[in-house]
Each structure stands twice: as structure tokens, then as C-alpha cells.
Homo-oligomer: A and B are copies of this chain.
Amino acid sequence: MHDPLLVPELKEMLHDGDEAAMREFCGVFHPGVVAENLAELPTADAWRVLSHTDLQRQVEVFEFMERERQMELVSTLPQPQLLSLIEEMSADDRADLLRSMEDDQLERLLPLIAQAERSEIRRLLSYPESSAGALMTTDYASLPEELSVRDALAALHHQAPDRETIYYIYVLDELRHLRGFVSLRKLILARPDLLVREIMDRDVLSVRVTEDQESVANKMARYDFIAMPVVDDQNRLVGIITHDDVLDVLREEATEDAHRMGAVGPLEDSYLATPFHTLAWKRGIWLVLLLVAGFGTSWLLNHYDAVTENHEWLVWFLPLVLASGGNSGSQSATLIIRAMSLGELNKQNQALILRREVATGVSLGLAMGLLALMFAVCYVAWPSALVVGGTIALVVTLGTTNGTLLPIVLRNLGFDPALMSNPLIASLSDALGVLTYYNVALYCLSLA
């Protein structure tokens, strides 16, 4: 969302070497806006503009840049500038950046970073991707419980400049165990002579450092926190996760699920930033798999040649029968997978939900079967129309059941349930649909 008026102005500043204007540009706008407008310039020019502001501002803007632009700067900036940028970054953004570097690049940089930051970086990098530990920052505000409110506010003055947030302050004992938390609002409203211990909330909701980021995001959405504390298995505070990181997680997870559901391997970058060949590969691999499944259906059909030959009308309704199974299966899978992502569906209620979906499948199956029967009699005679209606009833019921069962089975086996994409459900339904259709036909027509 760059401003179409700002970019030409920036180019003019660069052309005129107007340092005061560049400094003002970096200082006046929100760092996100500065980053977006700089994205329209070549990397070297962007850095020239940014070099006229102070380090803190440079870091703020740098943190808002797209990963690709950040990596370009990492490989082109002179080492002293790069090191001070990295040392000044917030712990979580820095860990994310270093995580996307090549191993040899990382091993070259790390020894140059100050000792204190370095051990912090190594610790954050050690947490598995998509865990609370990989998402958190260690720049949190904390206080001991025996401080008075007056002294607590004074202590916060010192902590404020380099903490990610000072609006939630965590109360720790000398071994860093999480004893409680207090909001800045409560602190400034409290009588100055009270102790932190007397005003803090003792029921602190926290997440484990190994917890999955999706579950963290669901908890933060449920309880409306600005930040949530992350603890180790001895309830010691190791970091906090802030509201902005959770927004990013929710967007990423929803995108990943959507892509999987459409049979596209999840993209690491945005759609526009993903190179053509990566996109083609992430789609092609699924298309090939589905093609192989499709040839399986061909092989099945091949065995029913004699039936087809005698009842050519069977072919007319073949796409309809297969689509009906796939559609009802896609609906169930979509509902189930989304409910799982939102944390609504768990191991306790999965049996209940399976029963409910099967009941829905039977109801929908009967209704659709009846409707299909009514349509089919416009094309074919009575016993043939019954084959169509009966098959539709069966495939809708089966489709719904499979669309519910398969994601549940996938999750219980430890896979991402969203791998059960709509196209995959449709492919599996195709094979099942052919078997159902021809067997119903053989049975009914033998009776007729």
C-alpha cells in the first residue's frame, strides 16, 4: 500500500541528495508506511534514504520490510551497520530473520554478535518452528512481588525503552517462576504505597514453550490478551507472545489451511512473492497424485464395459453421480477441518461429531436421491431412474461419512487434517462412486 505521491518525492530527494528531507520522511511516518514506500525503490536507494535516520528508527523500519528485502540488505550492507541492526532488533523478529538465513551465512554472522545477544539467539533458534518458543520474544517487562507500586513504576521507566510491551508486566520470584501479572493500567490506578503482590492477578493463563502456535493463537483470541506469557515445564517465564504475532499466525495458518484444502502445497511467501516455478511445483505434485488416482478409476470403469454396452444411459449420469459424492464429502471435510483449526473439535467430541455428520449425510442423501430420481425420470425409464436416485442417495451418505472420517483419521495419525483437500476427497469419491453406481445398476437391473 505505498503512497503513489510519496515514491516520486523520494526519488527526487535521492536525486537532490536532500538529507534533511530523507531524515524527516523516515521520522514522520509510521515505520510500516516507510517500509512500504521504500519497497518501491532499489535496495541500495532504500538504504541510502534510511541511513539518514537514527539506528532505532532504522531497526523499526527494517522489521517492517518484506523478508526478501531484508535478505538483500543482509547480503549487501557493510558488516558494522548490519551487526548493529541485528543487535538492536527485537528478539523475536531477529530470530525469525536468522532462521531464514543459510547455515553458512548464519555461522559467519553469529560469532560477530555480542555475547549476550548471541546466547539468546541460539536459545530462540533451538525451539521447533511453529512452537510458542519460536514465536515469543524475550523482551518482556517483569517485577518482583515485594515492590511498592511507586517503585514498580520507577522500575518500569528503566525497562520501558527496550521491552516489546510494558502494558502487561509479569511478576516473578527470584527463580523466575511466574507468580502473577499486573497490567500497566492497574498499576497507574493503584495507590502508590500498595505492594505489587497486593494488586496482581494470581491466576495467570500461560502457554508452554513447546505448545503449537495455532493453539496459542486460539487461546489469545479467546481471552483477549495483549500478550501471553510463555513458561517452561517448571513454570519459569521464558518469554511472551504479543498480539501482533498472533495476528500473523492466524493469517498464516488460515492461508496454509486454505491452500492445502485446494490441493496446493502451502506457500512460504505471499502468493505474489512466490516464484513461478515454485508455484507450478506445489500444484503439479498434487495434480500428478490426483492423476494417478484418476487412472485408478479408469481401471475400475474398464471392468464394467459389458454393463455400459447394454445400458448406455449409465454414462449420461456418471459425472453427476461422481460429483455428488465429491461435493458432499468436500462440505464435510471443510466443516471438520475448519472446526479443528479453531480448536472446537477435539478427541473428546470427535465420536459425537462423526455421528452427527453421518446423520446429516443420511438426511441429505435421502433428499438428494429423491430429487435426482425426479430429474432422472425426465431422461430415462422408471427402473433406470431408480438406479440414479438410489446411487445418489448412497454416494452422498458415503461422501459425507468419508469427508468426516478421513480428516479425523489423519489427525489421529499425527498428520495435518487439511491434507484431505477437496480435490483429494473428490478423487477418492470418484472411485467409490464408480463401484457404487455399477453395483447398484447390476442389482436393480437384474431385478427388473
Q: Which residues of A are at the interface with B, using a C-beta cutoff of 8 A? A: 1, 28-30, 32-33, 153, 156-157, 160-161, 166-167, 184-185, 188-189, 201-203, 205, 217, 220-226, 243-244, 246-248, 250-251, 254-255, 257-259, 261-264, 270-272, 276, 279-280, 283-284, 286-288, 290-292, 294-295, 297-299, 301-302, 305, 308-309, 312, 315-320, 322-324, 326-328, 330-331, 333-335, 337-339, 342, 344-345, 349, 353, 356, 359-360, 363-364, 367-368, 371-372, 375, 379, 392, 396, 422-423, 426-427, 430, 434
Contacts and interface: CB of A to CB of B under 8 A. Distances in A.
Q: Is the interface of A mostly helix, strand, loop or mixed?
A: helix
B371 A262 contact: no
Nearest to A271: B339
B222 A32 contact: yes
Nearest to A312: B305
11 contacts: A32-B222, A167-B184, A188-B188, A221-B251, A224-B244, A243-B247, A257-B258, A272-B344, A276-B359, A276-B360, A279-B335
A261 to B, nearest CB: 7
Contact of A246 (B226, B247, B328, B349): B247
Contacts of A205: 30, 33
Nearest to A305: B312
A372 B287 contact: no
Contacts of A287: 324, 327-328, 331, 364, 368, 396
A61 to B, nearest CB: 12
A254 B250 contact: yes
Contact of A247 (B33, B250, B305, B312): B250
Contacts of A396: 287
Which are the 6 A-B pairs with shortest beta-carbon distances?
A262-B334, A294-B320, A254-B254, A224-B244, A422-B422, A271-B339
Contacts of A327: 263, 286-287, 290, 423, 426-427
Contacts of A258: 254, 257-258, 261, 334, 337-338
A226 B251 contact: no
Most buried by B among A33, A292, A334: A334
A223 B371 CA distance: 52
Given A254-B254, A287-B328, 17 more contacts: A167-B226, A254-B258, A259-B335, A259-B338, A261-B261, A262-B331, A271-B345, A272-B349, A287-B396, A291-B392, A294-B319, A298-B319, A301-B316, A315-B315, A323-B427, A327-B423, A327-B426
Most buried by B among A254, A264, A379: A254
